[in-house]
Structure 1
Amino acid sequence: MKPRCAVLDDYQGAALTSADWSPLADRIDVRVLREHLTDRDALVAAVEDCEILVVMRERTPVDAALLDRLPQLRLLVTSGMRNASVDVAAARARGVTVCGTASSSEPPTELTWALLLGLARHVPAEARALREGGPWQSTVGADLAGRTLGLVGLGKIGGRVARIGLAFGMDVHAWSPHLTEERAAEHGVRLAKDRRELLADSDFVSLHMVLSDRTRGLIGEPELRAMRPHAYLVNTSRAGLVDGAALLRALREGWIAGAGLDVFDTEPLPADDPLRSLPNVLALPHLGYVTKGNYARYFGQAVENIEAYLAGAPVRELT
């Protein structure tokens, strides 16, 4: 019997068309699950016969409890080389190899600017009014040139966002716990002395930090209250960086002008979540890394990982 492989959370039905799976056609049985299964029993029932799972980063958590219910699992392939929702140590202890793939930083950089520009120029409201026969020009957009962009995090993505901000003629400053003046200067930006100063001085704030115990809730009520009433917050990184309850209050009570969000504590976002309906929120369904190029990398290298596994030599193994 051929090994069985399941691809989880393939929302767009793109997994099998984004890469050439033909080298595996006669070697494994592949099934694709397009619906996100939040119920653990339903998930186990759908994949418990599988030796191989292909998961999209942080869509379905794979923890020790789930691994215990999947005794046939031997290979787990995740998009990207870091997946906080996979317990790699628990997998290894159960004889499961965890492999990753390349992931480009350009797509989330580009989407960050899609959100920021959409907020600044009220693109959703104006596009909706035009389509529905509403008023012709009902808003006045915010300028970018000469305004201040604050970056919380200046890593691979944050650095790219900084360069684009500078190209728009913005004054860019950045902060993270270990950011130095020298590193900031390499990107042509100023170093803020602390995150409160950065938030208080910025017209636009964009978050680009890895979520950890240290950074969870980094932006809470004091930080949001420190922001200017006309300022916008953009988060394409991780929802846990921001205190969700405090953000709702900030948006409802006008502490800030609005937020552009691509990440949420619960995904898919529940139908009744207020973030879906607040007028000063521009929200997208976690599209930061979702491009044809990245999908080609993810699923193309997933195929390579599976081929190597079947040959007894997995590649791109997570540590």
Structure 2
Amino acid sequence: MTRIVVLDDYPPALATSQAYRRLRELGEVTLFDTLPQGEAAVIDRLRDSDVAINIRSSTKITNVALAAVAGELRLVSIWGTGTDNVDLQAARQWEIRVTNTPNTATEAVAEHGLALLLALARRVVAVHNALCQGRWSQPEFFSQLYGKTLGIVGTGAIGRQMARLGVGLGMAVIAWSPHPKPELEKEIGLHYLDSLEEILRQADVVSLHLRLTEEYQGMIGEKELRTMKPTALLLNTARGGLIDQKALVTALEQGWIAGTALDVFATEPISPQDPLLTLPNVVLSPHCAGRTREAVENGLLQVVDNVRAFLQNQPQHVVV
């Protein structure tokens, strides 16, 4: 019987889903409802398993972990699109297949990004808190998105959906991508620019939609933040590591940019002492952009379908 381990179902997602019932039809399932604390814990959970299901991106599946279970582990099935928490080179070396679930949370993540952006532009958190504290007063002027320029960095599925939402709001949409798709200019109404620097200089809102790779680690740093308009807003629902978070705090404190809205952070969970939590020109959420009932169920069903396809020697959504 196939031995399947669920490494990190916390907060609970898989255990309460229809997908879990389907998973149990595929083999003997061990489900951990806590997060592994460190590399040794990950290795302990992986041992004696043919298939591992990775729910949380905070779980790091390293070269050391994969080497320790090489010859036993055959598949890592990831819930989500990002794979930066898994050492893909090591997986390739040890002949361990890695799959993910692209396009199952596209609309959910884009909608959440828009919600964060509107909350930031209209200072929703600040005026809500003031009203709840008994203060009925006119706030400073809000930022209007209509007629402004939205800069999309990365035109994968979520970047494209965010561009559509921007067009729907009456924004001019410009984009840069390492893999541009010229047909999107007509299909969506966006306009590609030749460089990230041009996006940063022109956009009133910069929205990040790239996978985290070594090339893009810290790609938004001091230089890039100083390039942006002082009235610009920065939105990130992709991966926290795309931004140099220390430089971002400085930019927000010194007014290089007007504000930021983040669903992802360099280290997750974010520390309660992180200076981002003390700033007035931020709106933050705890890496939950894809957490709609529809997106969660669709994604988890895809995780299980990826396992089923692999066991039938017809692997799908293969990363490695």
Instruction: Give the shorter-chain TM-score range.
Output: 0.7 to 0.9
Correspondence 1:55 to 2:62: no
Summarize deviations over 1:155-179 as a string: whole Å, max 9, x none.
3222221221121112222223554
Summarize deviations over 1:82-136 as a string: whole Å, max 9, x none.
6233234533543534333343221111111011111011111122223333444
Structure 2 gaps, min length 5: none
Alignment CA distance shift 1:101-1:183 (3 Å): closer
Superposition deviation, residue 226 in structure 1: 2.0
Contact 1:305–1:314 under 8 Å retained in 2: no
SS at match of 2:18: coil
Distance 2:147 2:87 in 1: 45
Distance 2:200 2:46 in 1: 45
Summarize deviations over 1:155-211 as a string: whole Å, max 9, x none.
322222122112111222222355477653443123335333322222211112233
Distance 2:240 2:114 in 1: 18
The aligned runs of 1:39-78 (5 Å cut-off) are 39-56=38-55, 58-70=57-69, 72-78=72-78
The aligned runs of 1:1-319 (5 Å cut-off) are 4-25=3-24, 28-56=27-55, 58-70=57-69, 72-80=72-80, 83-104=83-104, 105-177=106-178, 179=180, 183-308=184-309, 312-313=312-313, 315-316=315-316, 317-319=318-320
TM-score by length of 2: 0.86
Contact 1:99–1:314 under 8 Å retained in 2: no
Aligned residues: 317
Superposition deviation, residue 249 in structure 1: 0.8
Contact 1:55–1:78 under 8 Å retained in 2: yes
Alignment CA distance shift 1:120-1:49 (3 Å): same
Matched to 1:73, the amino acid is: L
Matched to 2:98, the amino acid is: V
Contact 2:7–2:46 under 8 Å retained in 1: no
- Please give the root-mean-square deviation of Cα atoms over the aligned residues, in Å: 2.8
Distance 1:223 1:107 in 2: 28
Matched to 1:85, the amino acid is: N
Superposition deviation, residue 30 in structure 1: 3.1
Distance 1:80 1:56 in 2: 8
Contact 2:219–2:243 under 8 Å retained in 1: yes
SS at match of 1:21: helix
Summarize deviations over 1:225-253 as a string: whole Å, max 9, x none.
12222211101122232222221110111
Summarize deviations over 1:1-47 as a string: whole Å, max 9, x none.
x6543323323312122224335547644343343334222333344
Distance 1:95 1:218 in 2: 31
Matched to 1:191, the amino acid is: Y
Distance 2:172 2:60 in 1: 39
Contact 1:102–1:297 under 8 Å retained in 2: no
Alignment CA distance shift 1:306-1:157 (3 Å): closer
Distance 2:291 2:75 in 1: 24
Contact 1:306–1:314 under 8 Å retained in 2: no
Summarize deviations over 1:213-272 as a string: whole Å, max 9, x none.
333333221221122222111011222322222211101111111101111121122222
Structure 1 gaps, min length 5: none
Alignment CA distance shift 1:8-1:138 (3 Å): farther
Alignment CA distance shift 1:307-1:186 (3 Å): closer
Distance 1:69 1:196 in 2: 43
SS at match of 1:269: coil
Quick check: 65-74 or 177-186, which moved more? 177-186
Summarize deviations over 1:127-158 as a string: whole Å, max 9, x none.
22233334444343211112222222233222
Matched to 1:199, the amino acid is: L
Alignment CA distance shift 1:30-1:180 (3 Å): closer
Over the matched positions of the two proteins, sequence identity in percent amounts to: 38
Contact 2:9–2:56 under 8 Å retained in 1: no
